[in-house]
C-alpha cells in the first residue's frame, strides 16, 4: 500500500512451527496483501533476520503458536525493538494471549488471539490511516508518534467466524528445507501442511488450546483448504500434515476435505491428529481416512493411568487406548500415540508400566523417543491451576521459562526425567528400538523392577511405520542456536 510516497510494509516472523513451513505466516500474509501492504515473511528456523528488512517495516507481527516458539521469540523481539523502535509490534497465535502480560512487558503492546487474521488486518488499516493523516497534515518527523500502546482491536473471548483467505506462501523457504516424511521402504516424501479447522470442542486441562478457545471450534472453508494444498502440491508436496488440534471435531467437514484431496491428487498422502475418544466414537470414519491416503493418526494419549487421565480430563481411559490401538491396527491405520510421561502424579513403577505397555503392544516404532521424556508444562492460563493439588505444588510463575515451576515429591522421578532426556538428546537420529531399550533398562533399574522380555522386542522384528523427521516437539526445551538472528 502506498500513502503518498510511503509504501506500507509489514514483517511477519516465525521462530518455530514444528518443522513445517509456517501456516501462521502464510495465512495473515494473504490478509495484509489484500490490504495493499508489502509483506515480508521470515522463518527464523530456516533463515536470517536482517536489519534492512526490520528497518523497512511499519508493522511487525510475531507468530506464537506454541510454548517453544514463544520463548524463542524474546530475543527476536528485542532485536526488532533495537533496530526499528518506531515499528508497531504485535503478537498473535495460540500462545500470545496466554502470555499477554509478559509480551507487553518486553515491548509488544498489541496481542491478538484465536482467529487473528481479521484483527491483524484491522491493525494494518489503523496504521495506514494514521500515516495518511500525518502526511495530509504535513506532520514533521519530530512530531511523528512511536508505536501505538492503545489496545487496537482487542482479542475477544468470543472467537469470530472468519471467511478465510487462501494462504499466500510467497517468499517462504521451499518445502524441501522443512521436515520430510520417512517411509518404511527408506524413501522420503516432501511434506506440506495446512489447517482445516481451529480450536477444539474439548476441555483437556493441560491443553493450551482450551484457555483461548474454551470449547469453541472453527472450520476453514474447504475451498480454501484445497487451494492451499494445491499450491503446495505444485511446489512439490507429496504428503500433507493437517495441523488441526483434532481433525474429527467436525467429521463431515473433515471427510469432505480429504475426499476432495484424494480425488484431486490420488498419490498425495496425509496425516491427522485425533483424540482417542473420537477414534472410538467415530470408528466408522477411520476406514475412509485410510482409503483416502491417511498414513497415520497422531493421538495425545498422555497417560495410561486412569487416575492421571481424570486429573487431565482427557475423556478416555487406559482401556479406551488399548481398544483404539486394536481398532486402528485392524483396519491398517497406523496410530502414533504421544505422551506426557513425567507429571506430578508419576511414579517410577508407573513409568515402567508405560514403557512395558508400549513394548507389549508393539508400538515402539510408533513412538518418537522424545515422547518418553516429555515433562508436564504448566503455562499461564492453564486449567491445571484450577486443581488444588497443583496450586499447592507450583512454586510460582517463572518468566524465564514462561511456566509455573514444579518439582516432583519423589526426587527420583525428576532424576530419571533428567537422565532420560540426556539419553534421548544424545540419540536424536538413532534407531528408535535401541533408544527405547536403553530407556526401559534404565527405568527398571531405578525402580528395582525386573525387566521381563518383551515378545515384540525379543523377536528382533521391526514393524516400521512412516514418521516425520522433525525431532523437536513443542514441549521440548528450546535451543537458541536454532535461531538465525544475525
Domains observed in the chain: 2-143 (3.40.50.280), 179-470 (3.80.30.20)
Residue whose C-alpha cell reads 480454501 in the numeric block? 224
Residue 468 has phi, psi (to 5 degrees) of -80, 145
Percentages of the chain per state (helix, strand, coil), in multiples of 5: 45, 15, 40
* 486 residues of the chain, pLDDT tens digit each: 555 556 799 999 999 999 999 999 999 999 999 999 999 999 999 999 999 999 999 999 999 999 999 999 999 999 999 999 999 999 999 999 999 999 999 999 999 987 899 999 999 999 998 876 655 554 433 333 344 444 444 434 568 888 999 999 999 999 999 999 999 999 999 999 999 999 999 989 998 888 888 888 899 999 999 999 999 999 999 999 999 999 999 999 999 999 999 999 999 999 999 999 999 999 999 999 999 999 999 999 999 999 999 999 999 999 999 999 999 999 999 999 999 999 999 999 999 999 999 999 999 999 999 999 999 999 998 999 999 999 999 988 999 999 999 999 999 999 999 999 999 988 876 788 999 999 999 999 999 999 987 766 665 555 579 999 985 554 444 444 443 343
The answer to whether residues 377 and 343 touch, using CB atoms and an 8 Å cutoff, is: no
The answer to whether residues 412 and 342 touch, using CB atoms and an 8 Å cutoff, is: no
The answer to whether residues 90 and 61 touch, using CB atoms and an 8 Å cutoff, is: yes
User: Longest C-alpha distance within the chain, in Å?
Assistant: 81
Residues in Cβ contact with 481 at an 8 Å cutoff, skipping those fewer than 6 apart: none
Q: Would you call 148 helix, strand, or coil by DSSP?
A: coil
Cα 329 from Cα 274, distance rounded (Å): 15
Alpha carbon distances (Å) from 331 to 280, 317, 385, 457: 13, 22, 40, 23
Residue 329 has phi, psi (to 5 degrees) of -65, -35
What DSSP state is assigned to residue 196?
S
Residue 187 has phi, psi (to 5 degrees) of -80, 165
At CA 121, angle to CA 118 and CA 125, rounded to 5? 135
For 130, the grid coordinates are 494514521
pTM (2 d.p.): 0.91
Amino acid at each position: 500500500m502506498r500513502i503518498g510516497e510511503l509504501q506500507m510494509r509489514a514483517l511477519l516472523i516465525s521462530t518455530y512451527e514444528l518443522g513445517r513451513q509456517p501456516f501462521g505466516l502464510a495465512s495473515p500474509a494473504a490478509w495484509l496483501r489484500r490490504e495493499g501492504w508489502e509483506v515480508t515473511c521470515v522463518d527464523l528456523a530456516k533463515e536470517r533476520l536482517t536489519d534492512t528488512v526490520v528497518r523497512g517495516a511499519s508493522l511487525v507481527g510475531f507468530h506464537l503458536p506454541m510454548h517453544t516458539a514463544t520463548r524463542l521469540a524474546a530475543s527476536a523481539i528485542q532485536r526488532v525493538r533495537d533496530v526499528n523502535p518506531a515499528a508497531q509490534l504485535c503478537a498473535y497465535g495460540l500462545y500470545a494471549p496466554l502470555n499477554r502480560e509478559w509480551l507487553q512487558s518486553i515491548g509488544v503492546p498489541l496481542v491478538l488471539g484465536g482467529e487473528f487474521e481479521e484483527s491483524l488486518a484491522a491493525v494494518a488499516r489503523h496504521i495506514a490511516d494514521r500515516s495518511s493523516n500525518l502526511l495530509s497534515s504535513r506532520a514533521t518527523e519530530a512530531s511523528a508518534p512511536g508505536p501505538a500502546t492503545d489496545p487496537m482491536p482487542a482479542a475477544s473471548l468470543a472467537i469470530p467466524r472468519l471467511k478465510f483467505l487462501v494462504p499466500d506462501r510467497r517468499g517462504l523457504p521451499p518445502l524441501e528445507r522443512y521436515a520430510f516424511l520417512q517411509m518404511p521402504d527408506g524413501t522420503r516424501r516432501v511434506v506440506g501442511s495446512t489447517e482445516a479447522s481451529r480450536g477444539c470442542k474439548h476441555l483437556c486441562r493441560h491443553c493450551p488450546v482450551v484457555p483461548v478457545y474454551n470449547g469453541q471450534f472453527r472450520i476453514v472453508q474447504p475451498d480454501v483448504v484445497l487451494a492451499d494444498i494445491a499450491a503446495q502440491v505444485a511446489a512439490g508436496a507429496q504428503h500433507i500434515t493437517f495441523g488441526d488440534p483434532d481433525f474429527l471435531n467436525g467429521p463431515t467437514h473433515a471427510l469432505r476435505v480429504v475426499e476432495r484431496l484424494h480425488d484431486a491428487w490420488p498419490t498425495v498422502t496425509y496425516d491427522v491428529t485425533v483424540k482417542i475418544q473420537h477414534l472410538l466414537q467415530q470408528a466408522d470414519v477411520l476406514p475412509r481416512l485410510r482409503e483416502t491416503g491417511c498414513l497415520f493418526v497422531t493421538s495425545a494419549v498422555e497417560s495410561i493411568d486412569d487416575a492421571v487421565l481424570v486429573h487431565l480430563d482427557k475423556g478416555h481411559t487406559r482401556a479406551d487406548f488399548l481398544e483404539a490401538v486394536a481398532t486402528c491396527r485392524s483396519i491398517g491405520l497406523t496410530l502414533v500415540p504421544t505422551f506426557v510421561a513425567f507429571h506430578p502424579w508419576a511414579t517410577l513403577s508407573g513409568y515402567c508400566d508405560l514403557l512395558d505397555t508400549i513394548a507389549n503392544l508393539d508400538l515402539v516404532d510408533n513412538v518418537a523417543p522424545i515422547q518418553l521424556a516429555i515433562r508436564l508444562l504448566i503455562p499461564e492460563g492453564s486449567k491445571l491451576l484450577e486443581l488444588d493439588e497443583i496450586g499447592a505444588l507450583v512454586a510460582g510463575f517463572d518468566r524465564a521459562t514462561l511456566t509455573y515451576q514444579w518439582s516432583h515429591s519423589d526426587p527420583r522421578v525428576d532424576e530419571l526425567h533428567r537422565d532420560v532426556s540426556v539419553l534421548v538428546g544424545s540419540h536424536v537420529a538413532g534407531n528408535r528400538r535401541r533408544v527405547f531399550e536403553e530407556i526401559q533398562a534404565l527405568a527398571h533399574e531405578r525402580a528395582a523392577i525386573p525387566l521381563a522380555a518383551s515378545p515384540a522386542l525379543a523377536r528382533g522384528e521391526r514393524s516400521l511405520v512412516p514418521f516425520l523427521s522433525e525431532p523437536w516437539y513443542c514441549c521440548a526445551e528450546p535451543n537458541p542456536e536454532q535461531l538465525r538472528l544475525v
